Every structure is written in structure tokens, then in C-alpha cells.
Amino acid sequence: MDTMCIKPQKQFLAIFSLLFSIFIFNTSQVSAADGEKIFKQNCAVCHSLGKNKITGPGLEGVITRVPNEAWLAKWIKNNAAVISSGDAYAKKILAENGGAQMTVFSDFSDEDLNAVIAYIKAPPVAMAATATTSNGPQTTETPEEGVNPLALLIGVIAFLIIIVAVLRGVRHSLKNLQNEKLGLEEEPEVGPWTEFKKWMSTHKRTTAVIVLFILGGLVSSGWYALKDIGVYADPAQNREYNPEQPIAFNHKLHAGTNAINCQYCHSGVERSKTAGIPSVNVCMNCHKGISKGPTTGTTEIAKIYDAAGWDPDKGEYNKPQKPIKWIKVHNLQDFVFFSHQQHVKVGKQDCATCHGDLKEMTTARQVQPLTMSWCIDCHRKTEVPGMQDNPYYESLHKKLAEKYKGQPITVDKMGGIECGKCHY
Ligand code: HEC
Ligand code: HEC
Ligand code: HEC
Ligand code: HEC
Ligand code: HEC
Ligand code: HEC
């Protein structure tokens, strides 16, 4: 009997290591494809890999056109800097493309940069071919490749279960074969559950440990799930909240490239609790004249006209206005008091501290958790700026300066962590 068992065990090991190596192989495939992913996410809206021009030139053979590879890296990372340095080749392509602006990718790491350069130098043959023969950016979109490791793991487990079931069957028939030879009675087939129960009753301690382990896992994941209710973003988990908006409004283009002041649109920040979202009339101040954008053409701006009731052909407002239903990104609970004026005007806090750098974001997204501990942590470590110069704080400052001799006066010291300050 024992000798019979060895062989299937060996096979089993071989199958397992084969599956394992497939798993490893597949994960390395995923990282090798990063250049492709970066390209599709950042470049494919403006560049094809073939000869076709979209907003920017088709990138087929680009490595033979540009001055050298170092130039390519500099250009992709910050084309604006290359242009302003008076680079001759940059002038030439700028003229060839009617002065259209390429996005700046200053947040690319060297790794991203190398991956995307390697990719545009040698894209997969099939993709380059389809991109040359067709004329839309869509054709460069092939379905996501790479295997989801979780799916693979589940597959492996399912496979193992099948193998175990088969081996059990084989063992059972071999045993009966042996019994037949020895003239013993045939053993009835025992269900896996019965056998499992028998195993549990003979291995009580192991069973207890496993049960505790599973229970612990459930309780802790339940606890974390509860803590996450209503928390939409958490930088520690690399999680951000980024809902899709009715119009593809682009902060990077407006506040970054075109350097429009945040307050032009969010006029409430210095004088009220809320920053406010601009009405369609604010958009129309500029968009009466700008009907076409660099990445979305006329489609998105047409939605502004529709909401404003503007007829661009006749150049007049002749239709009813409709509100634009922006989706709120940041959402504090109703029982919390937060004032922009207090933080921006009095507290001199930069928008980016709480909202991230909108000048670099295409769509506004929540990057900070907005939890109570987030507010309080900042109040504990941030000094109240210009307290000594603010007449409003004169007497308070004197009192605090005496009380906390020489220590920095942080927001918590002036009562910034009292419950009533933030809760009605
Ligand atoms: C918003 C559109 C846009 C995006 C996004 C964009 N580019 Fe460009 N790109 C351009 C334009 C337009 C030019 C031509 C020069 C000019 O007018 O600024 C250009 C030029 C280039 C060139 C030089 C082409 C030549 O023929 O010499 C390279 C290389 C390049 N881009 C790579 C990239 C890469 C890589 C990405 C993504 C990381 C990217 N671009 C994203 C618009 C874009
Ligand atoms: C041309 C107008 C305009 C400018 C300039 C502008 N924004 Fe916005 N902003 C909007 C619009 C429209 C929305 C709503 C759509 C969205 O969420 O993308 C918005 C949304 C936001 C949101 C998310 C609001 C929410 O729903 O919680 C934040 C945060 C924000 N802007 C910050 C900034 C900062 C910081 C700047 C300056 C660096 C800035 N904005 C410049 C128009 C503008
Ligand atoms: C102060 C002027 C100004 C205001 C106000 C303004 N925009 Fe723009 N918008 C621009 C400029 C400049 C462009 C880029 C045009 C170009 O590069 O060809 C643009 C482009 C766009 C585009 C096209 C984007 C693309 O990538 O194709 C959209 C959509 C847009 N704006 C939406 C809005 C909305 C919605 C509002 C109101 C909340 C708004 N804009 C307010 C100046 C403005
Ligand atoms: C101390 C952190 C902090 C700073 C600094 C800050 N914000 Fe906010 N912002 C918030 C919070 C918290 C909310 C959510 C408010 C709510 O839901 O009631 C918010 C909401 C917003 C919204 C959504 C609309 C609204 O009024 O609720 C916009 C737009 C916005 N902020 C823009 C800005 C701009 C522009 C600046 C810089 C001038 C800025 N914020 C500075 C924390 C901050
Ligand atoms: C980036 C740091 C920072 C964050 C994050 C922050 N605050 Fe503040 N907060 C300040 C500063 C600085 C002041 C002091 C302003 C002043 O001088 O009155 C302040 C003051 C306040 C005050 C007035 C306190 C008093 O004693 O008058 C309230 C209320 C407040 N914050 C609420 C909040 C809430 C609610 C949140 C979270 C949603 C939050 N803050 C997040 C920096 C921050
Ligand atoms: C600096 C501002 C600030 C102060 C001070 C503050 N809170 Fe909060 N509190 C918040 C914010 C913001 C939330 C919302 C958190 C969320 O939505 O996850 C909150 C949520 C809560 C909740 C709801 C449970 C939860 O975590 O969502 C309770 C209860 C609470 N606070 C009690 C208190 C008590 C008691 C104090 C005084 C010891 C206090 N808070 C002081 C900002 C503050």
C-alpha cells in the first residue's frame, strides 16, 4: 500500500511545481508590459504607434528622428522645458504640429520613463501594424493582458482539489483491489466530508488552531471594513476617490497649463466655509470663445453650451439653461464643521496640503482620508501661522506664549482639538 502511494505523490509535486512556475512566469510578464500600460494611459490619446497623426505625430521610427535618446527622455519628462531652452528640433516639431501642446510628465520616475521609451522604440509588431493601417486612437487599445494573480491562485486551488479527489478515488479502488486479492470484504466508499470529520476528531488541537486562525482573520477584516465605512480615500492604502464627472473638466489644463487661479473658479475659499463649484456662467466667460480643446475636441465643450443654453452657430443664448450635475468628490459628514476661510485665509494652508496638486491632476480626486484623526494630527503639528501679527489673536497669543514658553504654538494649543470646535 505504502509503495503505491509514493508515485502519485511525486506526480503531485511535479504538477504543483509546474503550476508554481507558470504563476511566477506570469507575474513577471505583467511587469514587462508596464511600458505598454504607461503608454496607453498617458500617451495614446495623442499618439499612435504607427504613422497616423492624432494630436501629436505618429511615433513609428521616432527614435531615428529625434536628436538622441537622452533628448527623448528629457522631452517626455518635461517638453515645456526643452521648448523654452530654445532646442532646434523642438522648434521644428512644434511648428509641424501647429504649436499643439504636449502634456508634461514631470511625475514620471526614471523607471516609468525607461519603460515607455523601450515600448515606443519597439512596440509589439501586431500593434504597430494595426495602428498604421487604421486611423483612430481606439485601435491601439488591445484588451488588458496579464493574468490576475488572485484568479490564478483560485485556479490552482481548484486544480488541487480535483487532484486530491482523483487520488482519493484511485486509492479507494486500489485498496479494494488489494482486499479482493486477499479475499477480504469490499470497503464502502467514504465521502470526503465524513473523512474530514474523522480527521478533525483525531487532530483536535490542529483543528482548534485552524478555526481560531480563520475566526481571527474574519474579525479583523470585519473591523477594518467597518472603519472604512464613509472613508473614500486613504493614501496609506494607495486608495483615492475619483468619481466620473458629467463634463471631463481638466484641472491640469486649466490650473496647470493655462495657470488659471484656483480662486477664479472656487471664489468662496477666502471668504466662506465652502470653496464652491463654479456655475456654468463662469465657464462661459472663456468658452464663448474657446469651443475646441486639445484632447477632447468639441465634444466636452459642447456640453457646456448645452447647459448654458448657448447656440454656438448663432452666437446667442436661445435655449433654456440646465444645471451641470457635478459629483461631489469631498464629502464631510453633516455633523462636522469645516471652514475654508479659516484654513486658507487665516491658517494660510495651501490647497495642495489637503487636496493634492490639482495643477497636475486631470480629474479632481480625493487624496486625503478626511477622517477625524487626519484633522487632529494636523492640528497637533501645525503652528498657527502669523499669530503674533494677527490683531484678532493679540490677547490669546500673549496668554499662550506665557503658558507654553518657547514651544511652538500649534493649533491644538489654542483649542483646535476641542470637540465643540468641529462638532455642532
Ligand atoms: C495632449 C497630447 C499629448 C500627449 C498626452 C502626449 N503627447 Fe507627445 N507630443 C504631442 C505633440 C502635439 C507633439 C509635437 C510637438 C508639440 O507640438 O509639442 C508631441 C511630440 C512627441 C514626441 C516627438 C515626436 C517626433 O516626431 O519627434 C515624442 C517622442 C512624444 N511626443 C512622446 C510622448 C510620450 C511618450 C507620451 C506619453 C508619456 C506623450 N508623448 C504624450 C502631444 C502629446
Ligand atoms: C476653470 C475653473 C477651475 C479652476 C481654475 C480650478 N477649478 Fe477646481 N473645480 C472646478 C470644477 C468645475 C470642479 C468640479 C468638477 C470636478 O470635480 O472635477 C472642480 C472641483 C475641484 C475639487 C473637488 C471638489 C469636490 O467635489 O469635492 C477641488 C478640491 C478643486 N477643484 C480644487 C482646485 C484647486 C486647488 C485649484 C487651483 C490649483 C482649482 N481647483 C482650480 C473648476 C476649477
Ligand atoms: C479663464 C478661462 C477659462 C475658464 C473660466 C474655463 N475654461 Fe475651460 N478651457 C480654457 C482653455 C484656455 C482651454 C484649452 C484650450 C486649448 O488648449 O485649446 C480650455 C479647455 C476646456 C476643455 C477641453 C479640454 C480638453 O482637454 O479637450 C473643457 C472640457 C473645458 N475647458 C471645460 C470647462 C468647464 C466645464 C469650465 C467651467 C467650470 C471651464 N472650462 C472654464 C479656459 C477656460
Ligand atoms: C485644511 C485642509 C483644506 C485646505 C487647505 C483646503 N481645503 Fe478644500 N476642502 C477641504 C475639506 C475637508 C473639504 C470637504 C468639505 C465638506 O465636505 O464640507 C473641502 C472641499 C473643497 C471643495 C468642494 C466644494 C466645497 O466647498 O465643499 C473645493 C472646490 C475645494 N475644497 C477647493 C479648495 C481650494 C481651491 C483650496 C485652496 C485655496 C482648498 N480647497 C484648501 C479641506 C481643505
Ligand atoms: C493641513 C493642516 C490642517 C488640517 C488637515 C486641518 N486643519 Fe483645521 N486648522 C489648521 C490650522 C493651521 C488652523 C488655525 C487657523 C487659525 O489660525 O485660526 C486650523 C483651525 C481649525 C479650526 C478652528 C480652531 C479654533 O480653535 O478656532 C477648526 C474648527 C478646524 N481647524 C477644523 C478642521 C477640521 C474639521 C478638519 C478636518 C476635516 C481640519 N481642521 C483639518 C490646520 C489644519
Ligand atoms: C479637528 C476637528 C475635530 C475635532 C477637534 C473632533 N472631531 Fe470628531 N470628527 C471629526 C471629523 C472630520 C469626523 C468625521 C470622520 C469621518 O467621516 O470618518 C469626526 C467624527 C466623529 C465621530 C463619529 C465617529 C467616526 O469616527 O466617524 C464621533 C463620535 C466624534 N467625532 C467625536 C468627537 C469627540 C468626542 C471629540 C472631542 C474629544 C471630537 N470628535 C473632536 C473632526 C473632529
Q: Structure pTM?
A: 0.62
The per-residue pLDDT for 143 is: 37
Does ligand 1 have an atom closer than 6 angstroms to the CB of 48? no
Residue 411, C-beta contacts closer than 8 angstroms, at least 6 positions apart: 347, 378, 379, 380, 382, 383, 384, 417
The per-residue pLDDT for 6 is: 41
Summarised one tens digit per residue, pLDDT across range 82-115 is 988 889 999 898 888 877 778 888 888 888 899 9
d(CA 344, CA 331): 18
CA distances from 12 to 2, 174, 361 (A): 16, 18, 51
Of 376 and 99, which is predicted with more confidence?
A: 376
Task: Name the residue of 331, 411, 423, 424 to mutate for ligand 6: max ligand atoms within 8 A of Cβ.
Answer: 423
Ligand 5 closest atom vs CA 382: 12
d(CA 77, CA 81): 9
Nearest CA to ligand 5 atom 23: 416
The per-residue pLDDT for 41 is: 77
Percent pLDDT > 70 in the chain is 80
Buried b (16+ CB within 10 A) or exposed e, 85-105: eebeebeebbeeeeeebbbbb
d(CA 354, CA 370): 9
The candidate with the shortest Cα–Cα distance to 260, out of 280, 283, 289, 244, is 283
Confirm if 381 and 256 have CB atoms less than 8 A apart. no
**CA 291 to ligand 3 centroid distance, Å:** 9
**CA 353 to ligand 4 centroid distance, Å:** 10
d(CA 50, CA 305): 35
d(CA 150, CA 152): 5
Residue carrying the nine cell digits 501679527 = 389
Instruction: Select the CATH number that applies to the domain covering 34-140 from these four: 1.10.760.10, 2.160.10.10, 1.20.840.10, 3.30.360.10.
Output: 1.10.760.10
Q: Calculate ∠ Cα 208-209-215, nearest 5°.
A: 90
Task: Name the residue of 245, 326, 330 to mutate for ligand 4: max ligand atoms within 8 A of Cβ.
Answer: 330
Task: Delimit the domains of the chain by residue range.
Answer: 34-140, 371-424
d(CA 218, CA 422): 34
| Predicted confidence (pLDDT) at residue 278 exceeds the cutoff of 90 | yes
Does ligand 2 have an atom closer than 6 angstroms to the CB of 260? yes
Q: pLDDT band at 149, cuts 50/70/90?
A: low
